[in-house]
């Protein structure tokens, strides 16, 4: 039938087998500079499984049309595939209703949507918006803009030298003036896993709504937004093995219903005249214009792929891999770890005195090891630790201990060349 969504290829996995998973990611077979690729830049963007690539290709070859507007065969197929992707996201996040799933370009746009539609409506002179010292710029700058627009004040929850939030300071900062708390789930610069459920409960006890930056958490397994009880949750497809240009904003329906549209245009309206406009119901109210249809289909296929993985086994594997990487990298002469929180996931951040991280990153690249060197769009974190930048190795479900060994060997080579 024309209304049937595209089927998504699925992976069948018993337990967790990284060697099996690696075969599903074509890019991992590349040999930069004739060296095996060790891709350790997953916090920036993850590689893509064949299932996602095939689903997007199939969409363009067999089902492309504009959604929600056409009565013809291709439009119906595209609409069915697009709407099916939203339901897959809803299930993956355990949202209560499809109306709570808004497709955006990524985490950054999701946060900006909340800032401009919700933040500006609740904040004014004398009010405060609370963020943390470990936030990505995407969860700082939008709130600075809101404060400039409304006269509110930005307050910052400090972190310890281990890279953990100071929970006592958090409790002290919560007040009747606090209008919103915006917090990262997993720090992209440190790997710290914040206790979101506890933080949300504390904030709600003070009557404060909570936005969670989930850009770094979705690639490590499903997130249950109802269990976390956060009011908003933003994430990006490209971080979780999906396409670029697509992301998700989850919001509690009662809040989204009260929020004004973020953008105006086609598909977010019921009726338009030169005197007034009636807006569409959720989620269309926040999805003006032609959406990223193929990218939504690709994201749905990625969720299908992830849904076949044993995440309990994967979590154990990733914990062991991060432990191994921490121990091995710590043996390299001159290495100093940045961020040693008890609860970390996916990220190992460090410097290797006295060599600048950018120089180390360049040498590692020539050895086939892809890492990120810089401030990671988290300059306040770098300022806290007194460094201009760090080397960041970030891990995903396809990384192995052999790649960690390649990283350590490349670091040794960099020291020989540059120290």
Tokens for 168? 């006592």
Distances (CA, A) of 151 to 124, 131, 232: 5, 16, 23
Distance of alpha carbon 268 from alpha carbon 260, whole angstroms: 11
Helix axes 73-93, 50-62, angle to 10 degrees: 150
What Rg do the C-alpha atoms of the chain give, in angstroms? 22
H-run or E-run covering 326: helix 311-330
* Nearest Cα residue to 157 out of 174, 144, 139: 174
**What angle do helix axes 357-366 and 401-418 make, rounded to 10 degrees?**
120
For residue 93, the surrounding DSSP H or E stretch is helix 73-93
Question: How many DSSP H helices and E strands does the chain contain?
Answer: 15, 15
Q: Residue length, the chain?
A: 419
Residue 377 Cα distances to 67, 108, 374, angstroms: 35, 12, 8
Q: Is the dihedral of CA 238, 240, 241, 247 positive or negative?
A: negative
Q: How far apart are the first and last CA of the chain?
A: 66
Q: Which residues contact 329 (CB under 8 A, 6 or more apart)?
A: 335, 337, 348, 350, 393, 404, 407, 408, 411
What stretch of H or E contains 153? strand 153-157
Q: Give yes or no: 377 in active site.
A: yes
Cβ atoms of residues 25 and 49 within 8 Å = yes
| Structure-token pair, residue 412 | 């040794």
Q: How do strand 178-184 and strand 210-213 relate by DSSP bridges?
A: parallel
Question: Which of 147, 230, 235, 377 does the annotation list as catalytic?
Answer: 377
Active site (catalytic) residues: 377
């Amino acid at each position: 039938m024309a209304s049937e969504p595209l089927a998504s290829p699925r992976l069948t996995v018993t337990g967790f087998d990284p060697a099996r998973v690696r075969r599903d990611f074509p890019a991992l077979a590349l040999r930069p500079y004739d060296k095996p690729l060790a891709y350790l830049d997953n916090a920036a963007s993850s590689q893509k499984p064949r299932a996602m690539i095939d689903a997007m290709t199939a969409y363009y070859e067999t089902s492309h049309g504009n959604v929600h507007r056409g009565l013809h065969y291709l439009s119906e197929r595209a609409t069915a595939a697009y709407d099916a992707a939203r339901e897959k996201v809803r299930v993956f996040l355990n949202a209560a209703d499809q109306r709570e799933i808004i497709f955006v370009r990524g985490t950054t746009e999701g946060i900006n949507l909340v800032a401009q539609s919700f933040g500006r409506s609740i904040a004014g002179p004398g009010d405060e918006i609370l963020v943390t010292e470990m936030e990505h710029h995407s969860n700082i700058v939008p709130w600075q803009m809101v404060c400039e627009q409304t006269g509110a004040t930005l307050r910052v929850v400090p972190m310890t030298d281990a890279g953990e939030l100071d929970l006592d300071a958090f409790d002290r900062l919560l007040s009747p003036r606090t209008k919103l708390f915006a917090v990262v789930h997993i720090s992209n610069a440190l790997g710290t896993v914040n206790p979101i459920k506890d933080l949300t409960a504390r904030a709600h006890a003070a009557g404060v709504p909570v936005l969670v930056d989930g850009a770094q958490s979705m690639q490590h397994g499903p997130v249950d937004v109802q269990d976390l009880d956060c009011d908003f949750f933003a994430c990006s497809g490209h971080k979780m093995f999906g396409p670029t240009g697509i992301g998700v904003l989850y919001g509690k329906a009662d809040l989204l219903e009260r929020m004004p549209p973020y953008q105006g245009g086609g598909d977010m309206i019921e009726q338009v005249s030169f005197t007034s406009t009636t807006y569409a119901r959720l989620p269309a109210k926040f999805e003006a214009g032609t959406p990223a249809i193929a990218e939504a289909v690709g994201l749905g296929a990625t969720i299908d792929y992830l849904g076949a993985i044993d995440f309990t086994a994967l979590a154990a594997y990733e914990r062991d891999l991060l432990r191994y990487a921490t121990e091995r990298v710590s043996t390299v002469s001159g290495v100093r770890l940045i961020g040693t929180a008890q609860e970390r996931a996916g990220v190992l951040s460090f410097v290797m005195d006295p060599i600048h991280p950018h120089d180390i990153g360049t040498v590692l690249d020539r050895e086939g090891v892809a890492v990120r060197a810089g401030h990671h769009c988290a300059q306040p974190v770098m300022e806290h630790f007194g460094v201009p930048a760090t080397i960041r190795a970030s891990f995903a479900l396809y990384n192995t201990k052999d790649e960690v060994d390649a990283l350590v060997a490349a670091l040794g080579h960099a020291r020989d060349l540059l120290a």
